[in-house]
Structures are given as C-alpha cells and as structure tokens.
Amino acid sequence: MARSTPGYLVLRLATTRGSLRNWVEEMQKYFFKIGPVELTDGNLLAEIVDFFEEGVAAGKGVLELIGNDVAPFCDDLIKDSRTYADIYQESITGKPTTAED
C-alpha cells in the first residue's frame, strides 16, 4: 500500500497514541477545508505522521512540536502551496494567483 493512500494513513493512525492521533486528525480536517493541491497529489499527510512519530521517539510532546494551535502550524506548512481556492480564483479572474495575493 502506497504511503500517501488514505488506507495507509488510517492504518498508521490506528496504531498511533490517542492524543497524537487527535492532532493529526485535526490537521487533516483543516487541510481539507483549505484545500492544498498537494494534499491529494503528494505525501503531505504521511510526512506529518512521520514528523509526529519522530518527535514522540525523541521524547517531545505534540505541543512542543507544533504549539497550541493547529491552524498556524498548518498554514506554515502550506504557505507556498497552491490551493483549490487559488485555482477557483484563477478560473474567475483569468490571472494566476501568487503567494502575495
């Protein structure tokens, strides 16, 4: 099973400790609302699970890794990524969006 498939992530999250799993699920919900294109095209969620697992192995808690709020952490991860909102805006205006828009 490929690392980026939903089934693979479900299996990994099922074996992840409760608090950590809750944070990853919150991040996943946030990303699905924002719609970064790489979410479905790449390994973003699998890489986040890797990041958390490495942090736990190093003895760090979730709050130490990402802080108190999921949104700013997620925004920083995808700050240079195109979103489906960008694609929609481009279809309306006919102009490509940039990170500064």
What residues contact residue 8 under an 8 Å CB cut-off, 6+ apart?
1, 2, 46
Euclidean distance between CA atoms 6 and 29, whole angstroms: 13
Q: Which fold, 6-93?
A: c-terminal domain of poly(a) binding protein (1.10.1900)
pTM: 0.62
What are the tens digits of pLDDT across the range 7-41? Answer: 555 556 555 566 677 777 788 888 877 777 766 66
Euclidean distance between CA atoms 88 and 90, whole angstroms: 5
What are the tens digits of pLDDT across the range 43-99? Answer: 777 788 788 888 888 988 878 888 888 888 888 888 888 888 888 888 998 887 765
Please name the residue that has the structure tokens 């990853």.
24
Domain boundaries, the chain: 6-93
